[in-house]
Structure 1
Amino acid sequence: MATETATVGPYNAAAAAGKEDPTRPLAVASPTVHPEVTDGAGDEEVATTRRWRSMQYLRKRRCAIWCCGCCATTVVLLGIAALVLALTVFKVKDPVLTMNRVTLEGVDGDLGTERHPVSVNATLSADISIKNPNVASFRFARSETDFYYAGETVGVAYAPDGEVGADRTVRMNVTLDVLADRISPNVNATDLIFGQDYNLTSYTEITGRVNVLGIYKRDLDIKMNCSITLEVGAFTTVQSKSTNCVANVS
């Protein structure tokens, strides 16, 4: 039996030698592939970047919270200030209407008709004042004052429209001729010579508006009833002896 001799080439020889050498590695790394090299510098840079971004976020958030807090505080303070002003300085107060005095001028008495033996003519003048306690002006329309004697209307006086400045007082003089046919039946010659007290009543109504900075507005209706006592005698000018008034504002 013939023995076959295998021809061993250079490659096969190297492979055989590799198998026989247990310390030889199975594979050799390619010289073109390099493993990633990491060091502490890269990690520190990434950490620094993250910290910077976190600080920026916190700073923006803190600024936004501060701005919102300032806005909310400002709104609350403005609301409190507006409420305090509305309840104190800007609160619309009621004007005060006062009948200062009533005067009879040019009192004239003479013999009248058989039905009214004594005829009395006079001019009645009333001094009325309006006080405005508000911080804004009070504008009022044309007013009317009615005078009554013994339940009969003896005259009607009108006052023009006008304006009362802030915290000011305006006085108005209204004049009217007393209706002789209403008062004469209640007067006799003895009263004119020796003097007599006459009780008159009056009713005054004034409407107007108070406007504070165009924000606080209020329409006012002032009504005043007065009881007036006049002492008339000796055909002279007589002023009111006493005046009692009650005013109502709505």
Structure 2
Amino acid sequence: MAEKTNQQVYPFTPATKQPRNDEESGALTSEQELKRKKRIKLAISIAAFAVFQTIVILVFVLTVMRVKTPKVRLGTDVTFQNFSTGTQASPAFDLSFTTQVQVKNTNFGPYKFDSTIATFTYQGVTVGQVIIPMGKAGLRSTKKVGVTVNVNSNALPSTTNLGSELSAHVLTLNSHAKLSGKVELMFIMKKKKSAEMNCTMTIDLSTKAVQSMIC
């Protein structure tokens, strides 16, 4: 019987993995570079958007949400209804006139103010008063309130230099008022603000007209 020939069996050697060629490597590198550029562009876009939003918020806070104090003053359109003055020897005056109290609101919301009293003085002495009724100045607008003012020299002491002013055909009156109210923003935020009026009115007695109005 023929003897079986001892044969040694060797396992198959796995095929060696072939390296990628230059074209495949180049394509992979280009794809990775493209993705990297896209990520950089996305990051830049997000950063630019965040900066833009920050600027918008700052502008909004510094302009729209900033509450400014309204301004109040007497109008220059003054119409005299009664005009009576004395002389240097017998100084006196009794005047009545119509004018406007102007409340200027530069805020992005209405300004609601309470009723108050405007006082007219001559050399520190009260010579007349008028009531300014409660009202509302709309957003970025001016509220004009018509008033009729009566002033006279009845309360003045004899020591004033009214006679010398009358001889120069001028009469200087000061007016003061303080409005208390609230500015309303975005229908939710209310900020208390007081507006104060200090005006000096010089009247030309020869022409019976206002010579100057300084507020």
Following superposition, which runs of at least 4 residues in structure 1 exceed 6 angstroms of deviation?
A: none
Letter in 2 for 1:95: P
What's the offset of the Cα at 1:182?
3.1
> Structure 1 vs Structure 2: percent identity of aligned residues?
26
Corresponding pairs, count: 162
Q: 2: distance between equivalents of 1:100 and 1:108? A: 22
- Does residue 99 of structure 1 match 2:74? yes
Conservation of the 8 A alpha-carbon contact between 1:119 and 1:184: no
Gaps of 5+ in 1: 1-72, 246-250
Is 1:170 aligned to residue 143 of structure 2?
yes
Q: How do residues 1-250 of structure 1 correspond to structure 2 at under 5 angstroms?
A: 80=54, 82-101=57-76, 102-109=78-85, 117=90, 120-182=93-155, 191=166, 196-233=169-206, 238-245=208-215
Deviations 1:64-88 (A, max 9, x none): xxxxxxxxx9xx79x8455442222
Matched residues in 2 for 1:129 and 1:180: separation? 26
Q: Name stretches of at least 5 consecutive residues in structure 2 with no aligned partner.
A: 1-46
RMSD in angstroms over aligned alpha carbons?
3.4
Q: Structure 1's 83 and 124: CA in aligned 2 closer, same or farther, altered over 3 A?
A: same
**CA distance 1:141–1:208, shift in 2 (3 Å):** same
- The amino acid of 2:71's aligned partner reads V
Higher Cα Rg, which structure: 1
Instruction: Output the amino acid matched with 1:198.
Output: L
Contact preservation (8 Å) 2:176, 2:196: yes
- What secondary structure, in the 3-state scheme, does the structure 1 residue paired with 2:155 have? helix
Separation in 2, partners of 1:107, 1:155: 15
The answer as to whether partners of 1:90 and 1:216 remain within 8 angstroms in 2 is: no
Note the C-alpha offset of 1:187. 5.3
User: If the length of structure 2 is used for normalisation, what is the TM-score?
Assistant: 0.62
Instruction: Provide the rounded CA distance (Å) in 2 between the counterparts of 1:119 and 1:92.
Output: 45
Classify 1:207/1:82 alpha carbon distance in 2 versus 1 (closer, same or farther; 3 Å): same
Q: How far has the Cα of 1:214 moved from its partner?
A: 3.6
Which one has a larger percent helix, Structure 1 or Structure 2?
1
TM-score by length of 1: 0.54
